[in-house]
């Protein structure tokens, strides 16, 4: 498969590195300023440098504010039976598809752990996307983590609020947790190691267990023990539950504003 990547920033570049390691697809990048592109992909500086070439897939990985001026020139670069894939955050399906000549389009919402192959990526397809297109895109995205197809663009915006923005919530929680460990007398390095490994272990256990997270929580919570005391403080009066609902709600509202 011959793939064109428009833009090669941090997310696009990280995903491309994994694709180059795991597929035999031919990748061409067009980016006027990129200076750290993965080996194995052809780098061009402008659309005009493509000559008369066309591609099986065009991946849009530029900043949202650039799409209206950049994409129209690329409509002719997609083969008749090809499809477009957009990882441009906040750009609606209709907007991307129209700019690329009403091309079959898959809108993709990756998250930061895609950089290490552990992403949770949402996907939504336009009506003109074929089963073959879906299979190709699914396989490609699964190289950077796990893919989750959704049935509406609104669902993709809700997914953005949960997994797209989610690593930021986790990192903030980790920072607060590390500071709490330091308050108990651990130095910064030890506090970070303890917190990080605790979260990795708990998350891995949850992913491998058939038990609900409630059951897992209860399994480590003895009556009148240390965990119960900590949990009572953490979620006193449902404060944590309320805060997380407000957090994801705010992110979802912002996703709608960016359309």
Q: Band the pLDDT of 259: cuts 50, 70, 90.
A: confident
Alpha helices in the chain (DSSP H): 10-22, 67-70, 93-99, 131-142, 153-159, 166-183, 188-208, 213-219, 226-234, 239-257
Same-domain check for residues 187 and 130:
no
pLDDT tens digits for range 21-33: 999 999 999 999 9
Q: What is the CATH number of the domain that holds 214?
A: 1.10.3730.10
pLDDT tens digits for range 127-168: 999 999 999 999 999 999 999 999 999 999 999 999 999 999
Its domain, for residue 82, covers 2-151
Domain membership of residue 157 (yes or no) is no
Q: Band the pLDDT of 36: cuts 50, 70, 90.
A: confident
Domain membership of residue 161 (yes or no) is no
pLDDT tens digits for range 73-96: 999 999 999 999 999 988 999 999
d(CA 26, CA 24): 7
Instruction: Please say whether the beta carbons of 91 and 69 come within 8 A.
Output: no
Q: What value does the CA radius of gyration of the chain take, rounded to a whole number of Å?
A: 21
Same-domain check for residues 141 and 13:
yes
Place of tokens 């256990």: 205
Same-domain check for residues 55 and 139:
yes
DSSP 117-167: T-EEEEEEE-TT--HHHHHHHHHHHHTTEEEEE-SSHHHHHHHIIIIISHH
Same-domain check for residues 182 and 123:
no
Same-domain check for residues 97 and 179:
no
Q: What is the CATH number of the domain that holds 130?
A: 3.40.50.720
Domain membership of residue 156 (yes or no) is no
Domain membership of residue 214 (yes or no) is yes
Domain membership of residue 117 (yes or no) is yes
- Out of 123, 151, 179, a domain closes at 151
Total domains in the chain come to: 2
Mean pLDDT (whole number) for 97-106: 95
- Out of 100, 117, 151, a domain closes at 151
Longest distance between any two alpha carbons in the chain, whole Å? 72
In this structure, of 59-63, 86-90, 140-144, 179-183, the range with the lowest mean pLDDT score is 86-90
Predicted confidence at residue 32, as pLDDT, reads 96
Mean pLDDT (whole number) for 175-179: 98
* Residue 108 β-bridge partners: 123
């Amino acid at each position: 498969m011959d793939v064109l990547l428009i833009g090669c920033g941090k997310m696009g570049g990280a995903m491309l590195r994994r694709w180059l390691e795991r597929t035999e697809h031919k990748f061409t990048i067009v980016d006027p300023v990129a200076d750290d592109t993965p080996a194995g992909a052809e780098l061009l500086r402008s659309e005009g440098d493509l000559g008369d070439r066309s591609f099986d897939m065009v991946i849009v990985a530029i900043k949202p504010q650039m799409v209206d001026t950049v994409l129209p020139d690329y409509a002719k670069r997609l083969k008749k039976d090809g499809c477009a894939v957009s990882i441009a955050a906040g750009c609606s399906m209709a907007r991307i598809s129209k700019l690329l000549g009403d091309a079959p389009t898959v809108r993709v919402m990756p998250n930061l752990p895609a950089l290490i192959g552990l992403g949770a990526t949402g996907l939504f397809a336009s009506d003109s996307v074929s089963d073959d297109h879906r299979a190709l895109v699914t396989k490609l995205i699964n190289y950077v983590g796990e893919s989750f197809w959704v049935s509406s663009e609104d669902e993709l915006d809700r997914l953005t609020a949960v997994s797209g923005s989610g690593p930021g919530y986790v990192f903030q929680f980790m920072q607060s947790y590390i500071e709490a460990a330091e308050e108990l007398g651990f130095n910064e390095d030890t506090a970070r190691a303890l917190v990080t490994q605790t979260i990795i272990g708990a998350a891995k256990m949850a992913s491998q267990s058939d038990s609900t997270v409630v059951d897992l929580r209860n399994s480590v919570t003895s009556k009148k023990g240390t965990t119960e005391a900590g949990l009572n403080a953490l979620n006193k009066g449902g404060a944590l539950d309320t805060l997380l609902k407000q957090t994801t709600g705010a992110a979802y509202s912002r996703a709608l504003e960016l359309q």
